[in-house]
């Protein structure tokens, strides 16, 4: 926005329940705020590993953010080992 965010634009984007305040102490408490953990994988991650991490995050009540170079499947995982043998 060239002139910044105003009340009308905020309500159009986020709905009528949007709360805009300039004083952080006056902001209503947000129950959605939880701890977050960032997990980074270099070289790829499998769907099973992500599923386990999601379950772990759900059990211990924290947000999970996964950063990876790519998601690999079973065939790609096994193929990576055969590249070293031949």
Please write the tens of the pLDDT for every residue from 18-46. Answer: 665 667 666 666 666 668 899 999 988 99
Tell me, yes or no, if the pTM score tops 0.75: no
CA angle 34–36–42, rounded 5-degree value: 165
In 3D, which of 23, 67, 22 has the Cα closest to residue 45? 67
Q: Tell me which residue range forms the domain holding 52.
A: 29-85
pLDDT recorded at residue 1: 46
- Can you point out the beta strands (E) in the chain? 36-41, 45-46, 63-68, 71-72
Asked, for residue 36, whether it belongs to a domain, the answer is yes
Question: Structurally, how many domains does the chain consist of?
Answer: 1
Three-class SS state of 75: helix
Asked, for residue 68, whether it belongs to a domain, the answer is yes
């Amino acid at each position: 926005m060239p002139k910044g965010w105003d009340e009308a634009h905020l309500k159009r984007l986020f709905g009528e329940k949007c709360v805009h305040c300039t004083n952080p102490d006056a902001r209503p408490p947000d129950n959605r705020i939880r701890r977050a953990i960032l997990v980074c994988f270099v070289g790829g991650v499998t769907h099973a590993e992500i599923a386990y991490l999601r379950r772990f995050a759900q059990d211990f009540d924290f947000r999970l953010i996964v950063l990876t170079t790519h998601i690999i499947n079973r065939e790609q995982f096994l193929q990576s080992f055969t590249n070293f043998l031949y």
